[in-house]
A and B are shown apart, each in its own frame.
Chain A
Amino acid sequence: MIRTETYAPAHSLALDAAPRSFIERIERTLLEPVDISFLVLFRVALGTLLAISMERFVAYGWIDELLLDPTFRFKYLGFEWVAPLPRSQMFLLFYALIGLGLMVAAGLFFRVSAVLLALGISYIQLIDVSTYLNHYYLAALLAWLLACTPANRAGSVDAWLKRKLRQLRSQPEPEGTGQVARGVLWLFRFQIGLVYFCAGLAKLQSDWLLHGQPLRIWLGASTDLPLLGPLFTWEGVPLLISWLGFLFDTTIVAWLSFARTRPYAYAVVLFFHTLTRLLFDIGMFPWIMSACALIFFPPDAARPLFARLGLGFPGPSSGGVPPRNSGRSARGPLVRVALSVGLLYVAFQAVMPFRYLAYGGNVLWHEQGMRLSWRVMVRAKGGSVSFLVRRPGEDQMIFVDPKAYLKPFQENEMSGQPDLILQMAHHIGREYRAPDGTLPEVYAQANISLNGRRAAPLIDPDVDLMKVQDGLAPASWILPAPPEAPPHIRPVL
């Protein structure tokens, strides 16, 4: 059976008059109805995976370890006010988020549960920058996007309850419960496609493509893998895998977009993410991406599955009474606002990964424009950071080890991220404030290794960091990246 993505519903969001302008044509296309099956599947998958993600925090003790135990927390610019809840409430939040994830999956009180889930996940991430992970960020974005869609319109407890209510009231089934605007589909495709594409572009640099780093280092940790492991020690294999990873990330969206290549491409997606799951500690990311990649299938591809599971719901051309927001009314002010917000979101997401271009230099070194840009698994970076404090009127420097303030995972994260080093310096400065309130000078000794290179100074050791304010401007207190190529590290059996 050949599936198409275009529908001619009996009572579509038909716009009787021909579109008069380019914008109207775009609007018309975005509002065109498509089968809602893809959104139902996405809702079930994402809700379930997010519930599991939250459960992992509970099961692995990360609520304490990552969120509650630290006495100092790195803050996001503009979100300095975000603080962790008391311990019992934090656990309650996570249990609630597990429940909310399952409610979203089931489509139960979706409007409320989806928003609360997105809020909760965003809050958790804003507590401490050192817990930032690209896939947590992606999960939060997807949760918000999902919350903005009518994903409970079909295949949900909400829809079932509504149907029962209508039956009790002898009301007819409205039209449109099995469909959703094409713009929703495109929005999700854009978001997932952007992650892959930007992750690929991030690999378009010499360390990755010419030297096979940091994969040479990372593959060295997996030489015990059955069958594959010994292959990693073969000269050339890490570089080959680097190239394959680059080609996968940059082109997979295209392969998934064509009907003829889609099934094979998805098989490659599954292989790729299974492999990354085996090789790296990247938690739920492979699962989330494997599920998300299904968004590139035709929107009705999951319909037979739902039907087989007895969860069938009306299709887009099943007839019924036109919904309230169909027809010309769909172009009302609210829809216009929604479309505008959607386009702004797309523009923002399209620009964010490329803001690093405004800073010049090596983004993997200075990290300006690194976060929120889908530079996934492209750097092995770490080192030692210590601080020297000089109180006003004193000549002698005091050596301060950040270990006194940070948990090991925070220290590890801070070491490679200049803005976090700056935050730490400011905190230490406040700690060593003179009785009259005068702040001391604080200098950082940060020797950092990038992709196996010999450690080099990341922060200008002569700059008093108390005089530096964090911001979006290029940071002159960050020293240039070491120019030499990374070493030829070999995976060893």
Chain B
Amino acid sequence: MHFPLSAPRWFRPGTALLVALTMSAFAGCGTKDPKPGQGSGGSSSTGGRSPGKGSGGVDFGADGGAGGDSGLGGDGQVDGSGGRKGPGGTGGSGATDSGRNCGERPVSNEEFTKKRLLESAGACSAYSACVFSSAAFELGRQVTRYADSPSDARLEAARAAWLDAALVWSETAPSQFGPIASTASDRYHGRGIGSFIHAWPALNRCEIEKQVATRAYEEQGFQRILPSARGLAALEYLLFYEGDDTVCASNSTTYKVWAKLSEEEIDQAKRDYARAVVGDLYEKSQELVSVWDKDGEDFGKKLSNYEGYGSEQEALNVVAWSLLYPYDSIRDLKIGPLVGIGTALKNPESPYAEIDMESIRANLAAFRALFQGCGEGGEGIGFDDWLTAAGADDLRQEIQDAFDTIDAHAAELPPLDEASDAELNDFYAELKVLSDLLKQQFFGSGSVLNLKLPASAASDTD
């Protein structure tokens, strides 16, 4: 006898929206505000490239020649060492990048209300999505140039663009609500777009090598490719890993095909796949932008009106869960395995580019933006304002102090593989102080704001 895994969910507004959105993304959506820097080489599904060999149908305005770039400037924007020049900033964590045509970081100086908190969180996520899409476009341009006409300088430029995009993503990804989130994080509006952009912690090198070796993506497109073979993780492997081996099992088809390829053919296959992956990545970033777009779906408005969440408090629950990222991801997945605490295995977020510590700093910037406010240094409306308004200023100060300690320590820590056990243990302990505070009085049954913990929101009480 067969029994259903769970109850049928008859009402899934997100599904219809996702279909509509995906269609609009492939049709070339016209985003206005916020809008990533598309320049003259903006997104287009009619870019002249075949979906299989082109950049996923996206024209990044980067022809195979040595110049003639359109879009976000030419070669002059990226120097040989990969450093980003001009108003685009240095590409470090923080992504305070007004040069990306996303405008200034949204900051509200109005008096606190919960509606304004939702608006502020939404505006910040929309801004982050815009900045990331801009970085993804630049990444697409550089990867395409490298794939079209490989050279060491172009590889370095592509790597620099990847580093930039990856760190912007590290500041974007912790905001696990709305379109970026999985349905596990936001069961009301989660669309899982984030996992297609960066699959960590579900990395799988063999899945990437399977596409490289078999070129299945050319026939099937990206719809049937697992997230672990797409996005930033795939590009990191394709751009940074210099070996020609495969980790796929020796009895697998991938291994057998791989073994027949020459070194040059493997390199070419990697470049071809990189070009396709970056096109898909950019489309996903555009999908993200268009969901937040005020002239499009305007998810920010839905969020502030808690449409689909059932209540304002439930929308706030879902948004607030992003504050657990330092606990769930940084403490337990990134640092815990290094100090032998917990059950998670070592699973570096960037195994080839090795920017795990920079990524953590960017993750912490995301925490600050949500807890304190989206502006520089935490200016604007955040959850700390709610604590103050509710009369829990002591708790606000405790959380703030715990976070500042972590942030200051993170700024000084060397790359994780170079940090000593003592440094990592101290860092873990500091993260535990913050996560304990969050679990004691910010979330859960003891929450002074009545914020629930994830996965405890659905069941009855008392």
**Chain A residues with a Cβ under 8 A of chain B:** 58-62, 64-66, 87-88, 91-92, 95, 133-135, 217-218, 220-224, 280-285, 376-377, 380-384, 386, 399, 401, 403-404, 407-409, 412-413, 415-416, 447-450, 452, 454-455, 487-493
Contacts and interface: CB of A to CB of B under 8 A. Distances in A.
A409 B461 CA distance: 11
B448 A489 contact: yes
B168 to A, nearest CB: 30
A222 B311 CA distance: 8
B262 interface: no
Interface string B413-444: 00000000000000000001001110111011
A380 B445 contact: yes
Interface string B354-395: 000000000000000000000000000000001001111011
Given A382-B446, A404-B343, A412 B456 contact: yes
Nearest to B433: A384
- For chain B, the bracket of interface size reads 35 or more
A380 B1 contact: no
A489 B440 contact: no
Interface string B295-315: 000000000001000011100
A489 B390 contact: yes
A428 to B, nearest CB: 13
Given A220-B450, A455-B437, 5 more contacts: A220-B390, A221-B450, A408-B456, A413-B445, A415-B444
Contacts of B443: 382
Nearest to B460: A283
A454 B432 CA distance: 17
B446 A448 contact: yes
A280 B446 contact: no
A92 B7 contact: no
Residue with the greatest number of chain B CB neighbours at <10 A, chosen from A221, A280, A407, A489: A221
Nearest to B341: A399
B3 interface: yes
A493 B385 CA distance: 12
A492 B7 CA distance: 35
B449 A220 contact: yes
B252 interface: no
Given A64-B5, A403-B332, A415 B312 contact: no
A91 B458 CA distance: 19
B18 interface: no
B7 A58 contact: yes
Interface centre among B306, B332, B443, B456 (most CB of A within 10 A): B456
A413 B452 CA distance: 12
B456 A224 contact: no
Contact of A412 (B5, B444, B460): B444
Contacts of A447: 436, 440
B446 A383 contact: yes
A314 B311 CA distance: 49
Contacts, number: 161
B114 interface: yes
Contacts of B459: 60, 62, 65-66, 281, 409
A61 B441 contact: no
A381 B343 contact: no
Contacts of A60: 7, 458-459
A455 B446 contact: yes
B336 to A, nearest CB: 8
Contacts of B436: 383-384, 386, 447, 455
B67 to A, nearest CB: 54
- Chain B binding surface, main DSSP class: loop
Contact of B450 (A65, A380, A386, A488): A380
Given A382-B439, A399-B341, A488-B391, A133 B7 contact: no
A96 B450 CA distance: 36
B296 to A, nearest CB: 26
B456 A376 contact: no
A224 B390 contact: no
Nearest to B436: A384
A335 to B, nearest CB: 37
Given A407-B455, A490-B389, A492-B390, A382 B440 contact: yes
Nearest to A410: B456
Contacts of B461: 133, 280-282, 377
Nearest to B116: A493
7 contacts: A224-B312, A280-B462, A285-B462, A384-B435, A401-B342, A404-B343, A412-B453
Contacts of B4: 91
B454 interface: yes
Given A224-B311, A404-B343, A487-B392, A455 B445 contact: no
Contacts of A133: 460-462
Contacts of B6: 61, 64
B440 A492 contact: no
B455 A224 contact: no
Contacts of A449: 440-441, 446, 448
B440 A384 contact: yes
Contacts of A452: 392, 441, 446, 448
Contacts of B439: 382-384, 415
A377 B445 CA distance: 11
A183 to B, nearest CB: 30
A401 B439 CA distance: 13
A221 B114 CA distance: 10
B114 A493 contact: yes
B113 interface: yes
Nearest to B311: A224
A59 B460 CA distance: 14
Contact of A493 (B113, B342, B394): B113
Contact of A492 (B343, B386, B456): B386
Given A384-B435, A409-B455, A492-B114, A448 B450 contact: no
B446 A416 contact: yes
